Amino acid sequence: MRKLLMFLIFFAMIVASSACSQEESATNISLGQDDRFVFVEGGSFVNEDSNFYSEGVIIEDFYIGKYEVTQAEWIEVMGGNPSYFEGENLPVEMVSWYDAIEYCNARSMDEGLVPYYNIDKENKDPNNESEHDPIKWTVTINEGANGYRLPTEAEWEYAASGGQSSDGYTYSGSDEVDEVAWYWRNAGDQYLTGDWNWPIIENNHTRTHDAGSKDPNELGLFDMSGNVREWCWDWYGDDVNHESDSGSYRVVRGGGWIGDVSSSEISFRGQFEASGSGPDQGFRVVRDPIE
């Protein structure tokens, strides 16, 4: 009887281990087959316009959202819709860095993944030097988690510049900004000329546009220039090649429909208070490959 019991326990352990392995494999395959994501092969920076070019920065493989997170995706996970401009296929906006972090964890749990972030809402982050951020949650990484996350600034720029397939464009996918980006001149009823002028921009009904309605970049990623600015994980530091452990702002990249053409360049670095939000502020998500 004891031998039989030991055999059954051993058999159960083998079955459980096999099931976990199959589940992980299926998750990885499904992510690779998900047409909302693009696999980015890692390596060094090819685009000479990049802030990281020739700096010895090596990026590991990762998956990144083909599109900015849409309002339909946000509503499915979070319920309500914070966006100023409403439409299922429009990028979600009016979301803070903290909102984006919460979305990543909530979506991970909805899909049976391990949340990537530990969120401590009770203790203020000692690394947050902002004088105007009333939230200051302490957010740390759950090492080894397979859930959704924000891209690092280096990952974002690597993907925006085309990764190993880069053709060296100024904007994400082209040297002609109007081919790939919605920004203040082309995002309204008429194409605007002259200097940036908010009353004119507003009267032109300038706004966000459906995700993926401009041309993609070399990797098949859309709207990494223009439409909405995108949150990254990092603190903003003066030297992009040295990660900051603290700061007053989080990094935003890619420019938005309000921004000038220069903010749509792959090398342009933006900063925003983590608690800040606006009708041109969104994000896209990333996941690590499952080993």
Which pLDDT value is given to residue 137? 98
Which pLDDT value is given to residue 270? 96
Question: Is the confidence at residue 31, as pLDDT, over 90?
Answer: no
Distance CA 285, CA 275 (A): 18
Inter-residue contact 230 to 284 (CB < 8 Å): yes
Question: Is the confidence at residue 260, as pLDDT, over 80?
Answer: yes
Which pLDDT value is given to residue 18? 38
Average pLDDT over residues 82-96: 98
**Cβ neighbours of 12 (radius 10 Å):** 10
Instruction: Convert the pLDDT of each residue in 196-208 to its tens digit.
Output: 999 999 999 999 9
Question: Is the confidence at residue 24, as pLDDT, over 90?
Answer: no
The model's confidence at residue 12, banded by pLDDT at 50, 70 and 90, is: very low
Which pLDDT value is given to residue 244? 85
Instruction: Convert the pLDDT of each residue in 53-75 to its tens digit.
Output: 988 999 999 999 999 999 999 99
Break the chain into its structural domains and give their ranges.
Answer: 1-33, 39-287
Which pLDDT value is given to residue 141? 97
Amino acid at 8: L
Mean pLDDT in the chain?
90
**39-287 classified as CATH 3.40.50.800:** no
* Global pTM value: 0.88
Distance CA 92, CA 249 (A): 21
Question: Is the confidence at residue 36, as pLDDT, over 80?
Answer: yes
Q: Report CA-CA distances (Å) from 84 to 92, 148, 258, 285.
A: 9, 25, 13, 21
